Amino acid sequence: MALTNTQYNTIMRSYEERRIRNRHLSEERAAHIFSHVEGYGELSDSIASLSIAQGRKLLEGDANALTDLKASLHDLSQKKEQLLKDAGYPADYLAPIYDCPDCKDTGYTGGQKCHCFKEAVIRLLYEQSGIRDLLEKENFSTLSYDYYQGEDLERFQGAVAACRNFIKTFDTDYQNLFFYGTVGTGKSFLSGCVARELIESGHSVIYFSAAGLFELLSRNIFDYKNKEEQALFHDDLYGCDLLIVDDLGTEYTKNLAPSVLFSLLNGRCLNRKSTIISTNLSLEDIRNRYSDRVFSRITNQYHICKITGTDIRMLKKRLQNRK
């Protein structure tokens, strides 16, 4: 995934903060050793003096100056390490400190992004998704078919297959998903399964409940002050790899919802950015509530999955109460 400038800068600032923190720690260690380990400061000073003296000899044409300097520096370094050990410190106590020794806290090694950079991307994407904690519980590893049977099972299996194909072809085949059906049958759960897999592969995912999304969008429409903040929000909303709108139909700004929703869906389609929508509304409800334009966009641009069955949340609660 190509990071936005904001995301990249956020990660690089974290590397800068690491370097500053570790540099301060190194300085504190050095100050402590110089003041508490007798003779260490003198050895350090002699290294500087020796380097200057041998440098002069090298400039004067002494061919052995560099070899002699290396031997002397090695001997002095050994003595410094021994002083540290004798004082009860590790021999490398004053070595440079890095969170990641491989890239020395730069994020890059050998001209390529370090493994720690890739890990930082994943952490950032989880934080920005808004559902980090949810995805620890709701993912493919906890998926179960035990709550479905008959036609309900077939529909759920079909939806799972659609999700897996959506993930597999995400980078090569532009798709959107629309989950609808009865309450508590796994629509939001499947959205979470997709979100986790895509975040783990380095894609940006943003989750919104419909109520939260429309409240924020309607507030921005009438907010003329925070233009910069609005621009960043707009870029994230229209530019993230996957936007999840959960529980469409629960929002309160019903007068604005049709036009705002069409603008959002249309903009993301034009940008070829994928969207997942889940709702308890029927397709006919979607048409009546959000306009023919929204209905047409969804039915033509989205893979539609109907999921039905028992309310799993209520079923689990009843089973828990019996224990």
Tens of pLDDT, residues 25-38: 999 999 999 999 99
Average pLDDT value for residue range 193-213:
92
Average pLDDT value for residue range 159-164:
97
Encoded amino acid at 267, one letter: G
Backbone dihedral region for residue 312 (phi beyond 0: left; psi -120 to 50: alpha; all else: beta): alpha
pLDDT at 4: 75
| pLDDT above 90: residue 43 | no
| pLDDT above 90: residue 252 | no
pLDDT at 142: 93
3 state SS of 224? coil
Encoded amino acid at 313, one letter: R
Strands (E), the chain: 108-109, 112-113, 177-181, 205-209, 242-248, 274-279, 303-307
pLDDT at 136: 86
3 state SS of 12? helix
Average pLDDT value for residue range 184-188:
94
Nearest Cα residue to 10 out of 115, 97, 100, 107? 107
pLDDT at 44: 82
Bridge partners (DSSP) listed for residue 181: 307
309 vs 58: which has the higher pLDDT: 309
**Whole-number percent of the chain with pLDDT over 70:** 92
3 state SS of 137? helix
- In this structure, what DSSP letter does residue 97 have? P
- Rounded distance between C-alpha atoms, residue 158 and residue 10, angstroms: 39
pLDDT-based confidence at 280, cuts 50/70/90?
Answer: very high
What is the reported pTM? Answer: 0.72
Average pLDDT value for residue range 132-157:
92
Q: Give the range among 58-62, 288-292, 310-314 with minimum mean pLDDT.
A: 58-62
| pLDDT above 80: residue 1 | no
Domain boundaries, the chain: 5-99, 130-322
For tokens 């936005």, the residue is 4
| pLDDT above 60: residue 63 | yes
Per CATH, the number for 130-322 is 3.40.50.300
Q: With contact defined as beta carbons under 8 Å apart, do 285 and 160 qualify?
A: no
| pLDDT above 60: residue 175 | yes
When the pLDDT of each residue in the chain is averaged and rounded to a whole number, the result is: 87
pLDDT at 237: 86
